Amino acid sequence: MIITVTPNPSIDRTAVLDTPLVRGAVHRIASIGTQAAGKGVNISRAAVAAGVDTVAVLPADADDPYTRELRDAGLTVRPVHPAGSVRINLSITEPDGTTTKLNSPGDTVAAADLDRLAEAIVAEAATRTAEDWVVLAGSVPPGTPAQWYAELVATLAATPPRVAVDTSDAPLAALIERLAIGAPHLIKPNSDELASLTGGDPEAIEADPAAAAKAAAGLVADGIEAVLATLGANGAVLVTADGAWRATPPPIEVVSTVGAGDSSLFGYLLGHERGLPPAERLALAVAYGSAAAGLPGTTVPTPDQVRPDLVQVRTLSEV
């Protein structure tokens, strides 16, 4: 079971161009798609496609078109009364797969809104087992204290499931600063996020898996059980107390990178669900992310589109 938490859900609109994007120019859109999304929601969609039980906890009205779309897609949704309407994000995808994202912040929340959401998350987690996961995913809406995720991780420590976090900016920094009060079992930074935590150069980290693994190893030493760092076209690295591994994806034609990181995280969780060793979890993570990058918009891959057998994994001996 995967409980996903999306505190700042979105309606994703993806505009596909048949020519490169030129700033200040007029472009004709080849196609446009709209989907109820958000990082946690994307993970729940991938879980449904793979036949894994999932519950999506998020702030939205029960009869909102956003919520109805998710239910129509087969998701079990635990809606919590929201502070406002669901925000709209726009992605512009060029022919080579380059994606430009324009994300709106969402409506400002009050303490009562965050308390309702936290209570729903903890109540859902309390009914689960130690084999299950709670995934805290994405940005937080305006008005949310930077330490909200960190405090929620500490609260969830009293419930059975394992906790994964995929976020950025101030919430990620606050999480790392407060590892002493509660460390998640897993985080999934990209190269920019990993660099922001370690003071490294994001381009160097993305280009050098050994550098990424070394940066991730410091976070493991601070109490995080596993760090899955995604490195774009260079694949990903996984670091735990038992070792470090890098995975290289097969060559693909990139269509859209939106949601690829979410699919990577799901691939890792699916590997855990199947009882796979770390290297095979990493292969499945990279295979899912690679498959997602070859699909339009925020489309998540189905299991038949995922090829972990084409992913090359090797152990990193020095971290």
Q: Which tokens sit at 226?
A: 């596993």
Contact assessment for residue 182 and residue 165, using Cβ atoms and an 8 Å cutoff: no
- The CA distance from 198 to 218, in Å, is 8
Q: What is the pTM of this model?
A: 0.93
User: Backbone phi, then psi, for 20, in 5-degree steps?
Assistant: -60, 150
- Radius of gyration for the alpha carbons in the chain, expressed in angstroms and rounded: 18
Tens of pLDDT along 207-245?
A: 999 999 999 999 999 999 999 999 988 999 999 999 999
Protein fold of 2-315:
UDP-N-acetylmuramoyl-L-alanine:D-glutamate ligase (3.40.1190)
Closest CA to 254 of 291, 284, 288, 281: 291
- Among the listed residues 18, 222, 262, 309, the single catalytic one is 262
If DSSP codes are grouped into helix, strand and coil, which group holds residue 85? coil
Tens of pLDDT along 252-309?
A: 888 888 889 999 999 999 999 999 999 999 999 999 999 999 888 778 999 999 999 9
Is 61 an annotated catalytic residue? Answer: no
Quote the pLDDT of residue 157.
Answer: 97
Q: Is the pLDDT of residue 319 over 80?
A: no
Domain boundaries, the chain: 2-315
Tens of pLDDT along 103-162?
A: 999 999 999 999 999 999 999 999 999 999 999 999 999 999 999 999 999 999 999 999
Beta strands in 66-195 (DSSP E): 76-80, 87-93, 99-103, 133-137, 162-166, 186-187
Contact assessment for residue 35 and residue 73, using Cβ atoms and an 8 Å cutoff: no
Q: Is the pLDDT of residue 26 over 90?
A: yes
Q: Is 72 left (phi over 0), alpha (psi -120 to 50) or beta?
A: alpha
Burial of residue 43 (number of CB atoms within 10 Å: 0-12, 13-18, 19+): buried
